[in-house]
Structures are given as structure tokens and as C-alpha cells.
Structure 1
């Protein structure tokens, strides 16, 4: 699954309530950061190992877009997306807080190995139809996050156009589109299941090592 992945673009604070729950300002333009492709690990029922000695690791459930056609100025943004999935932007929150205080980049907090668990690829219905369904994270049998793309501060066409104009957007790139409110620290042994509407779209078990 990871061999065809090029760049992984991630959008920070794209849901107002998530920005506020962490005490952050709500951005007035898309906030983009990146993860290395080595961060991706499939959510196919396996155990995902994560670092236990670096402070809290928070889960952040997100809609992930796969670019199947390189974006050119003026084209329909939906035309460059060939699939979607649900993924987790895992974050070393204590590390991130220290980096933010120093004004340093977030890579150490966001790009560690296995920090981007990714569920199965699903058909992409287009950004407007996408808003008709909710996505959910169930943690050890209890709903932890629920969101809808209609609550995004910057909708998918805006994200695609912004990323393409500033960084380039080519076939094989992924876009993590931001997380709704409800993030929290993982515990050793947590089971994580992601749902698109009522469909189970991926699962894994967390092992802190």
C-alpha cells in the first residue's frame, strides 16, 4: 500500500471545535504540514507499535484523499481524487507542545514511524456528496470521535487548490484533511475501529513499546 505513496500533506486545525479544544487560534487559511511516507501503516486488524517513552500520543481521525491525477490550474478539484480512506494523524502531543513553544517545525511530533495508520480505500463520491455521511472512531468499544466534512473550515476544493498552488499536487500524493473535536491520549492495548457511515473501514490495536 505504501509503495505508490509520494507526498503526505496534512491539514491542521480544519475543524473549529478541534482548534478550540486545544486552545489554538482558528486559522484564516489552510495550515499545511507533512508526514513522511514511512509513517503510513495499514489499519487491517494488525497491532501498531508506537513509542511509549515520549509522552502522550493523541489520536486524530481524518478523511484522507488519494490523488489519482495531477492537478492542473482550473481543473475540477474532484477530478484529481480517485479514492478516499479514513486515517489517523497520530501526534506526540507533549513533543508538539515543546516544539510549538520554541517555534520549531512539527515533524518530530507528527512524522514518527507508524504515525499515519490508514484504512481501506473507498470510492470517493465528490466533495459535496461527501458531506452527507459522518465518520467515526470507536476506541475500545466506545465512540471517541464523530465528524462530518460539512464542518471543515476549508473544504476539499480549497485544500486541493491551496496545496497545488503552493507545493504541487501529483498522482500518488495523499491529503489528510483535518480532525474533528474529541482527540485524546492513547493507552496500551486500545483497539481502534474507524467507520464511514455504518461501514467498518479499518481497525488496529495499539501497543506502546
Structure 2
């Protein structure tokens, strides 16, 4: 996927997801990054993921594509030009050990193909996103469903925080957080990513 620069992810941005993992609900956006090698496209292919490092969890998210360099005066519509549905894959056992030691999460979050995205579609505006759920099906069964109207930190808050603390420019991606319902991935699981009733992407997980 050409033109993608930085990949930012917002942790614990849905209250129920924070609670299901026993985490405190944050009082400010909690961001981490993934390298561009983590990016993979859900275009029907097999996607290779680690199967030898403990449980691998899916976390479905709405992903925004940044249109221009950050400016405090810019509106949401000026900052975001496209959206996708994505999965922030997480090595949960690895993450738990890193948390215990107070280490960064990169080993649990930044491995190749850990940032799966559908094709990007034009940003329909905030209201349309709040009126449309995104969801994930695993082997034909819905396992996650969310809507950005339920986030703790809204899109503009996330954009401002990211731009002010890390920098934000054209081609950057932000994974905006996952709702509750995360779970384990097994070899051969087939995933479908939906925006509303429309399937935006799909792939099969190959654990190795």
C-alpha cells in the first residue's frame, strides 16, 4: 500500500474493551505505534501471522487516513480524507509479560502483518460514521461490532493529541481503538471486515 507513513494506534479507547482486559480506563489518549512492515491488505489473500508466541488476538478498529500535515486550526474533514476497517493483531501473552516488566509493547504489537486494513474509502463525514457500525466476522460469525460514537476520545481529540505530541502528516494512519469482543485467532480462520452491511475486505489467517 503506497504512500503510508506512520501507523499510530489508540489503546483502550472503548470503556468495555478496557474493562474486559482488566485495564484502567485512560484519562488521556494512550498511543503506540507500529512499523510500516506491519501493514497488510485484506484483499482475500492468506496473511501470515505468528503462531508460536502464545495467543494471537484480533482487535477490529475504524482506521483513518490523514490527508494533510497537522494544523491546530484544521477541521476533521480537512484532516481525514479516507477511512478503512482494520485489525490491530496483538500477541496477548507477550503483551502481558511486557506489561509486568513495564516494557514497551512493540514486540506484542509491531510484528509483520499485525496491522491489517481493508481498501480505503472516501471519508463520509463524522455523522455518517456515527450512524454506521463497523464489525468483524470470523468464519462467518460476527465476533466484534463497534461504533466510534462510543469512543472515550473522539476523532478530533485523537488527531490533536497525535499531532501535538508526535507529529502528523499526509499518509499517516490512526487505528482509533477496538470495542469489546476481542478473541483468539487460530490457523485457517477466515475474517471478513464490514462497514455497515458492506464487506470492505477479507482474508485467511495462516499461523506459522
TM-score tier after normalising by the smaller chain length: over 0.9
SS in 2 for 1:154: coil
Give TM-score scaled by structure 1 length: 0.98
> 2:10: which partner in 1?
11
Q: Kindly indicate whether the alpha-carbon contact (under 8 Å) linking 1:77 and 1:161 is maintained by their aligned counterparts in 2.
A: no
Distance 1:78 1:183 in 2: 30
> 2:192: which partner in 1?
193
Unmatched segments (≥5 aa) in structure 2: none
Q: Provide the aligned length of Structure 1 versus Structure 2.
A: 208
**Over residues 39-66 of structure 1, what are the superposed CA-to-partner deviations in whole Å (9 max), with x where a residue is unaligned?**
0011000001111110000000000000
> 1:116: which partner in 2?
115
Unmatched segments (≥5 aa) in structure 1: none
Q: Kindly indicate whether the alpha-carbon contact (under 8 Å) linking 1:6 and 1:37 is maintained by their aligned counterparts in 2.
A: yes
SS in 1 for 2:19: helix
Structure 1 segment 44-83 matched on structure 2, within 5 A: 44-83=43-82
Q: Kindly indicate whether the alpha-carbon contact (under 8 Å) linking 1:10 and 1:176 is maintained by their aligned counterparts in 2.
A: yes
> 2:169: which partner in 1?
170
SS in 1 for 2:122: coil
> 1:100: which partner in 2?
99
Shift of 1:128: 3.0
- The alignment's C-alpha RMSD in Å is 0.7
Distance 2:73 2:128 in 1: 21
**Over residues 157-197 of structure 1, what are the superposed CA-to-partner deviations in whole Å (9 max), with x where a residue is unaligned?**
10001100111110010000000000001011100000100
Give TM-score scaled by structure 2 length: 0.98
> 2:201: which partner in 1?
202
Say yes or no: does 1:91 pair with 2:59.
no
Shift of 1:130: 1.1
